[in-house]
Chain A
Amino acid sequence: MTAAGLTAEPAIAVADIRKTYGKRPILAGVSFEVQRGELFALLGPNGAGKTTTVEILEGYRKADAGTVSVLGLDPMRDGARLRPRIGLMLQEGGIDNRTTPREVLRLYARFYRDPEDPDALLEAVDLGRAASTRYRRLSGGEKQRLSLALALLGRPELLVLDEPTAGMDPAAKQATRERIAALRAAGTTILLTTHELGDVELLADHVAVLDRGRVVAYGTPAELTGAGAPRVRFRLSATLADADAAALAAAAGGVGARVSVAGAGAAYELTGLTAAPDPTLVAALAAWCLERGLLLTELRLGARSLEERYLELVGADVAAEAGADLATEAEGTA
């Protein structure tokens, strides 16, 4: 849609940025690039440095060290030229409680010569009926949709979305997801921070995972979920004795393979494989179960969900905190 997609220069280039608040290091050397026209997801637990990184890109904060380039400009020095080209969807807030969505959109529309029509945007984000409601009385999801509409007024080259679906009901989440996908398809570069890892898996071109101020993983969603040792997860109709587990490992995985418990309710993991799972392995596993009269109720090979990979990367404390139950993953079952 725009010529911007043709230029080789990345939309965002961050090299070795560092930031310390007092004695607390927030960013300990973060580097990544976002290419024009792509949707880039920045993930990480709360406190990992996502918001600080985003605020440095927006020119709200200055990095202690490192270089930052956004659309070829320095956010601190060239803020006035940069701001009209970026759409910011901040988390809730930033709007006077006593104003209405229509007033706020009309005010911000006057910052452009040829903005999108505020009323059309209100309809598009499904705020038509709430257009004259005081901001204070809007629901969390409505506030988020207003924030998205504000970010879109200037048809930005770069859209920065900070947890765009937080506080939305499932229908609004789905509509927002579709809107983001359409913007991405129309050529808008998007930087997204979110905890909705399912969205990232579907939408993102590249993902960076931030933990304790460092990028601990970078790649496409497929690269991230495919990384790591090959493994097989399955669930049986009954639990296995230790000796049976060893026998199953030998039968299905060969020398060096092990079967270990991977959750409550007879969920197991087959590890120590020397090669990626293949049809032979599946047949051997099924045959062993048939011999014992066991039913294989779930089978998942190789790739993990992005959520599982993410939890491996950012550590067990976070997994406990998030209350994630890996054993109940339903996708990819056989």
Chain B
Amino acid sequence: MSTSRAPRTLGAGTPAKPASWLAMAWALTLNELRVAARRGENLLVTFVIPAGVLLVFSAFDMTGGTGTGRPVDRMLPGSIALAVIAASMVSLAIATGFDRSYGVIKRLGGSPAGASAVVASKTVGVIVIEVVQALLLVALATALGWTPGPGASLLLVVGGLVLGTVAFAGLGLLMAGTLRAEATLALANLLFLISLVLGGIVMPLDKLPSAVATLASGLPPAELARVLSIGLRGGGDATEPLIILAGWAVVLGGLAARKFRWD
């Protein structure tokens, strides 16, 4: 290749200085978001389905007349819970699973960025997507006439989002770090569908057979939906679902940390 520059060997000479850890983590975060935005099926799961669930089921009363308040008041907490599950479990698991199978994480781990910047970028990426999801869903709900309940607590909502994110990201990374990428893809999507039913998101849990309802009520999707419901509508004691959700966060996060394999 002939270039106009002075004859110099590209790649040799005074070594380049590394960028700050923050700059590297930010570059990786932007890359993470760009790749996520390019995956159509990912946009469908993280944005279109939660928004669709909110819009469609706010038009009907799925409680069969037993619920209180307008349908949109019941649907917003559930659709946010669904969005959290999509971003922190489905999207993260699939992206990380394929990164792992391509060796992307291994290569980045040997670059100046290192594993810590990769983990940070994935964390920030999930948070950014969740913030956009929450803003979108709240805006849609507001357009349908939603207003926060009298005892609504932003602190409780944020607390629920953090614990739910840790629990579902733990589950997602546990799959991504131990299974083949294709198996992770299938299982994450399956769990997403199961969450839709067992989370009490589309219809209340008491419409399910009682044995199933009892089992489902202790699982992370239902607990997250309960915390968000209490936080957004006000009224009720969130201590029990918070403690159970925190327990899931510790167990699933801990399992992911122990079992995750980079290659």
Contacts and interface: CB of A to CB of B under 8 A. Distances in A.
Contacts of A187: 12
Interface residues of A, number: 50
B104 A58 contact: no
Given A110-B23, A110-B27, A155 B104 contact: no
A107 B11 CA distance: 17
A85 interface: yes
**Interface majority SS on A: helix, strand, loop or mixed?**
loop
A95 B104 contact: yes
Interface string A49-81: 000000000111000000000000000000110
Contact of B112 (A2, A94, A111, A155): A111
Interface stretch (A116-124, A211-219, A227-235, A324-332): A116-124
Given A93-B103, A94-B102, A123-B1, A2 B15 contact: yes
A187 B9 CA distance: 10
A96 B11 contact: no
A129 B160 CA distance: 50
A90 B107 contact: yes
Contact of A115 (B16, B31, B106): B16
Contacts of A99: 35
B156 to A, nearest CB: 38
Interface of A: 1-2, 58-60, 79-80, 83-88, 90, 93-99, 103, 107-108, 110-116, 120-121, 123-124, 126, 151-157, 159, 182-183, 185-188
A84 B17 contact: yes
Interface in B22-44: 23-24, 27-28, 31, 35, 38-39
B10 A96 contact: no
B19 A116 contact: no
B1 A112 contact: no
B111 interface: yes
B99 interface: yes
A155 B24 contact: no
Contacts of A88: 107, 110-111
Contacts, number: 129
Contact of B16 (A98, A155, A185): A155
Contacts of B216: none
Contacts of A95: 102-104, 107
Contacts of A59: 110
A179 to B, nearest CB: 8
A1 B3 CA distance: 21
A148 B157 CA distance: 48
Contact of B18 (A1, A60, A84, A124): A84
B104 A96 contact: yes
Nearest to A128: B1
B110 A84 contact: no
B102 A153 contact: no
A60 B16 contact: no
Nearest to B20: A113
Which of B3, B19, B103, B112 has most chain A Cβ within 10 Å?
B112
A203 to B, nearest CB: 15
Given A60-B110, A94-B103, A98-B38, A111 B11 contact: no
